[in-house]
Amino acid sequence: MAIRRFSDYEQTKSYKDFEQLPRGGYVLIIKGAELCENSFGQYTKIMCDIAEGDYKDFFMNDYLGQKKGDRKWRCNYLLNTPKDDGSEKDGWTKRRFKTVTEALEESNPGYHFDWDERKFKGKLIGGLFNEREYEANNGEIRRATNLAQLCSVEKIRSGNYKIPEDKLLESKQSMPTTDKDGFMQIPDGADDELPFN
């Protein structure tokens, strides 16, 4: 008696260890952007992928390798829209917003930011990836690569950047989970479906 061979054995993909993008700086291409809103206010969800180098198309390959019903795009940057309320926190939000729009302009000759997030699609930008801890469904603490900051493409290509500190769960840190300017990002997974074709 022998094991019965199934018809699409050669085409069937095996389970592989989950490949994680290493911490570092990468040139990104924006795959799409959409305006969203939650309890914190308005934000732009910017979906990115690696544009060049050894990890080119990393997130598209990851997406295509997921089970069809549970697919999630795993490289999103959530850019809060300033509330223009005069608060100190809003000042930080304005600076971060302006940093991203200037990086878009510097990285894409001829592009001028005109308040239309749909025009981000196809543009290049630099991305700095750190690691963040999260608690899995089974309570296990795990780490994942996180798009922590956007910057100019030139900054990445020149190597003139510093990777932001990893984001540890609060129980593991002595300080709150905010970055150096006190701005807290909306956590990954807030709305992670693939919204572009």
185: which 2 tokens?
Answer: 């990002």
pTM of the full structure: 0.76
pLDDT at residue 136, as a whole number? 86
β 141-151/124-135 pair status: antiparallel
Q: In which band, very low, low, confident or very high, does the pLDDT at 177 lie, cut at 50, 70 and 90?
A: very low
- Going by C-alpha positions, the residue among 53, 97, 91 that lies closest to residue 79 is 97
Render pLDDT for 73-99 as a digit per residue (tens, 0 to 9): 999 999 999 999 999 999 999 999 999
pLDDT at residue 13, as a whole number? 58
